[in-house]
Amino acid sequence: MKKIISGILTLAVLVSMAGCSKTEQVNDSVDREVIYQVSLLQGLTFGDYHGSVSAGELKKKGDTGIGTFDGLNGELIMVDGVIYRAPGEGVVEEVKDEETIPFSNVTFFDADETWSIENVADFDALREILDAKVSEFGENRFYMIRIDGEFNSINARSEYAQEEPYEPLAKVLEHDQTFFDYENIKGTIVGLYCPPYMSDLNATGWHLHFVSEDRTKGGHVLNMNIKTANIGWDNTNGFEMLVPENEMFADFDLTIDQSEDIKKVETKVEE
């Protein structure tokens, strides 16, 4: 018995020593079950497009996510650890690590569940499928999803880069938004679900970005028709947020309710 106990003690010491090694520390410091958010969407909608985190830094917080770039220079989509820009001009490009980001949500993607879907007519039909899963797991958690497949259509949008002084997002989208309608296209949608209590910090519900399989087309998803696809679903219980340091952000009155503006910038408003 004594021998067994000392054996266990030795093992425990070895484990804690291993915990001190450099590689272990790096691995320990990364919590894969955290949604990392740069700024508040409400800061972005007020017009704070100042990048506060580099693409290289963001990659330390996740390998999958959505967002935008300094100066509102296109829609950000991160897939398999690579950050892409879907610009207002249309052709997707890989982004350099030095480029900065004013707003984003990323996580390390580990699918807790995967399943396949087919013939999903539009965003509302997809939302019904996703929300059924939300009901199952609980509406007060965060979820990141990946939808890899073939799409009969994708309706996406992006926007042109802005120069200071920055206008509020809803205003920018009135004159500098571009729409892309893709047909018969393969690719990946990355989506984030934020719970209802996030309404002061982000958009609640689903927010989707798309990039084509050949990584040349993409944007913020307004609608889609799915032919056949696999959904990967990542339950994520942690939330970490970076509060920007720039003066523009510091002076906003973020108690002002922007829910109408948020709705306007997240969905396509018919003129």
Task: Give the binding site for Zn ion (CB under 5 A).
Answer: 220
> Closest CB to Zn ion among 25 and 130?
130
Burial of 150 (0-12, 13-18, 19+ CB in 10 A): middle
Q: Which is nearer to Zn ion, 2 or 199 (CB)?
A: 199
Provide, rounded to whole angstroms, the least separation between the CB of residue 220 and Zn ion.
3
The least CB distance from residue 14 to Zn ion, in Å, is 47
CB of 213 to Zn ion, least distance (A): 20
Identify which of residues 103 and 249 has a Cβ nearer to Zn ion in the complex: 103
Backbone φ and ψ of 43, nearest 5°: -70, -40
Q: How far is the CB of 230 from Zn ion (least distance, A)?
A: 22
Residue closer to Zn ion by CB (options 31, 201) is 201
Query: Under a CB-based contact definition with an 8 Å cutoff, are residues 229 and 24 in contact?
Result: no
Q: Which is nearer to Zn ion, 217 or 220 (CB)?
A: 220
Among 215, 217, 223, 213, which Cα is nearest to 266's? 223
Residue 25 neighbours by CB under 8 Å, 6+ apart: 19
105 DSSP β-pair partners: 37, 66
104 burial via Cβ count (<10 Å: 0-12, 13-18, 19+): buried
Supply the minimum distance, in Å, between the C-beta of residue 202 and Zn ion: 11
Closest to 172 in 3D by CA, of 186, 162, 157, 180: 162
